Chain A
């Protein structure tokens, strides 16, 4: 054969693309388009309404986006490892009610109220994880069930009404209204959580393993990663962060809210993660893109409100954005349009 005479020297081409990366390219195309969209939205509404870009309105946008942002950050984590959690909104409701009711029940102890809410969050999150991993229930279905069940739980606990009054307590007032260095405390909490999650994803072996699980679970398993443990822990983390969001909701509104204020948050969180570049199949995504998408969604929502556009349209806009984000993603992956998508 002819191959016998040629030495086993490699003839294939080295893959192209060894260029030095410019700082702009390092940011990523996805993030650049998000920044572009954000500039367009801010510019558009700023031109339509002079108050839109005022400091006080920007602060309103930031505060309104905080709870969504917290949920979107943890949604990013679960999507990276190939799962999904659509029960986050209901979890916020449970935590909000628990924090207010325990606060009232223990004679105005904010500390115990906060602790109880976080405990409830852990329980609910671990339950989600166990049902998914050991019950072998698809994450979408399992957390869809959670969406209904936890909402019902919050309503049962609270009898369907707002519970307690917390704004006589300095801790809650500080969480809901306080400022540090000119920025609302709520926004600081989001910043801290986002940085912590970003560091975990990018700089620790935990993050590597999460990306591995979402990228190829068989390979992750054979590489000795305890997938079950990681998945349960991720859902528990969601429970904790959702509880923090619930506590902030209580602090902002002054009382425990079973449904109002938390309904529909799952849609916002998932939309933000998808717009931010998370592959819904798992293995790809990051906190930076998600936060940009949260800012974009927040700016858009506020702009539409300021312009007096019917809030029903905002729901339509959100649905459209979610579908558009995924369609673009699938196009980039070169998915063949045959049958149900994977």
Chain B
């Protein structure tokens, strides 16, 4: 294991390849990367690993010119470069295969691949013969003649074929470095194997490959080296042949968060929330119970259906079958309003997109779900509203000069506290917190853990959805693990370890994958209300 900073990447990368040297990136108050030095060498697959929020995406974006580093520099073939835009990076030979391929639906595969640089005749008409020649030779070179038909329309492609189009795009021109961002998340196993074979071929051609994934099996199948990021810093680089899964996990988690968690046992005997065989479009047969004052964590990988379950409990996704009961009484949720009235609150995963009104004041954002109690006739009682918002803003220590400030001016942690204040004012019986500390600095995080502990002491039943294992272990009385829309196991506090959780979260990865389920990926969100 090497420590950050050594060896200097300039020496490690003669010839082509890309490196970052002491790169720091700040977004306002948030430090996304601090002093990262990493080299990606030609002819090697370097896996980039880290928990959510460790800085992997930011690093990729700096390499591809989407972001400029606040400090430090990017070295290409040993020489410092500065990319003003993704276009610059592309010209320099750096390509990224995005997680969600961008496909133009109504044109052919060939035109999709060459979009933006279509060959044309002297009359500025599309040169179809030349286009066909190019795409056929591309497909032959990569061995994909049988996998994809260049005349197929974008809308007809399978997830794997869509990925392939992105790869073909990346390989046009002179690609030297290719980054894959969780490429297998939408692929069935046989498709993934084809992708791995392609990556092997690219490596043999001397291309430097950056491979971002959470899946250990793939990492050890592909990678030469494993670079681990933690909290925006490089935690070290491992040789894939000399390390083990558990060493990688230890490095990813590393820090000791336990000092932030308030250990208490305040769960009472009365069951508040009870799910019985709950099935929606995204989750199947979920049964679980949460008692008053109990903190249940919902663990699992991204796309396991945890957020979708949270939305279903908040009344935003219809139940296909099963039963939800609150304090023993069955609930029929026709919409979020029913859930809120019954006493279920949800602080959703994407606080800016799903919870906050960025151009409105802290006061407005706090009072919104409690206006029923703050009005006379239909008039909002401003004095009471202001007092209530001020009270919760103080209790949660929202850093702001005034509750009349627009929420967009607050930091992520304070924005999250405003979302929590909204629910605290409403006094729910059940509160669902989806990734409550994502993108929040460590200080605000500790405060949010304290708020969760206070809520539990007040007898609120808490369901915390989190992808951060130390947080799950530190907060929860009980941990329920999901994968592929189902519960794969439940762990008590005593038996819970990171390894045990990861094992349950990736249970399917170890067993043969069901291609039908991989193909039928959950669709996201079709919002009712005004189309725009």
The answer to whether A and B assemble together is yes
Binding site for B on A (CB under 8 A): 1, 3-4, 6, 8-15, 17-18, 81-83, 132-133, 136-139, 203-206, 208-209, 211-213, 215-228, 231, 283-284
Given contacts A8-B446, A15-B400, contact A283 B359 (CB under 8 A): yes
The CA-CA distance from A215 to B399 in the complex, in Å, is 23
Given known A-B contacts A82-B530, A82-B532, A224-B337, A216 and B446 have beta carbons under 8 A apart: no
A11 engages B359 (CB within 8 Å): no
Cβ of B197 within 8 Å of any chain A Cβ, yes or no, is no
B521 at the interface (CB under 8 A from A): no
Q: CB < 8 Å: which of A15, A83, A204, A221 contacts B336? A: A221
> A211 — which chain B residues lie within 8 A by C-beta?
357, 360, 364
- Across the interface, do A139 and B530 meet the contact criterion of CB distance under 8 Å? yes
Please tell me if the beta carbons of A132 and B340 are within 8 angstroms of each other in the complex: no
Name B247-293 residues within 8 Å CB distance of A.
Answer: 254-256, 259-260
Nearest CB in chain A: distance from B98 CB, A: 17
Give min CB distance, B198 to chain A, whole Å.
31
B442 within 8 A of A: yes
Q: Which one of A18, A132, A206, A219 contacts B355 once the chains associate, using CB atoms below 8 Å?
A: A219
**Contact B354 A205, beta carbon cutoff 8 Å:** no
Q: How far is the CA of A132 from the CA of B402 in the complex (A)?
A: 39
Closest chain B residue to A21, Cβ basis: B404
Q: How large is the interface on B (under 10, 10 to 19, 20 to 34, 35 or more residues)?
A: 35 or more
Interface residue ranges of B365-383 to A (CB < 8 Å): 367-369, 371-372, 375, 378-380, 382
Q: Are A216 and B368 in contact (CB under 8 A)?
A: no
A273 to B166, CA, bound (A): 44
Least CB separation from B260: chain A residue: A8
Say yes or no: is B512 at the interface (Cβ < 8 Å to chain A). no
Contact of A133 with B529 in the complex, beta carbons under 8 Å: yes
Q: Which residues of B contact A (CB under 8 A)?
A: 29, 231, 254-256, 259-260, 311, 314-316, 335-337, 339-341, 346, 348, 353-360, 364, 367-369, 371-372, 375, 378-380, 382, 397, 399-402, 405, 409-411, 413, 441-447, 525, 527-532
Knowing A13-B29, A226-B337, say if A8 contacts B443 (CB, 8 Å): yes
The answer to whether A226 and B443 have CB atoms under 8 Å apart is: no
Q: For the complex formed, measure the closest distance between the CB of A337 and the CB atoms of chain B, giving whole angstroms.
A: 14
Chosen A-B contacts, 12 in total, with CB atoms closer than 8 Å, are: A8-B445, A10-B397, A81-B530, A132-B531, A211-B357, A215-B359, A216-B358, A220-B529, A221-B529, A223-B369, A224-B336, A224-B369
Return A219 CB to nearest CB of chain B, in Å: 5
**Chain A residues with CB under 8 A of B369:** 223-224
When distances are taken between beta carbons in the complex, the residues of chain A under 8 Å from B254 are 1
* Cα(A164)–Cα(B446), bound, Å: 75
Tell me the bound Cα distance from A227 to B346 in angstroms. Answer: 18
Contact among B357, B380, B413, B445 for A204, CB-based, below 8 A: B380
Bound together, the chains give a CA A1 to CA B527 distance in angstroms of: 43
Question: CB distance B529 to A9 under 8 Å?
Answer: no
Per the bound structure, the CA–CA distance linking A218 and B348 in Å amounts to: 11
- Give Cα distance in the complex from A208 to B380, angstroms: 9
CA distance A41 to B428 in the complex (A): 56
Given contacts A133-B528, A221-B335, A222-B355, 10 further A-B contacts (CB under 8 A): A1-B255, A11-B29, A12-B411, A205-B371, A208-B371, A216-B357, A223-B340, A224-B315, A227-B529, A283-B359
- A227, B356: Cβ atoms closer than 8 Å: no
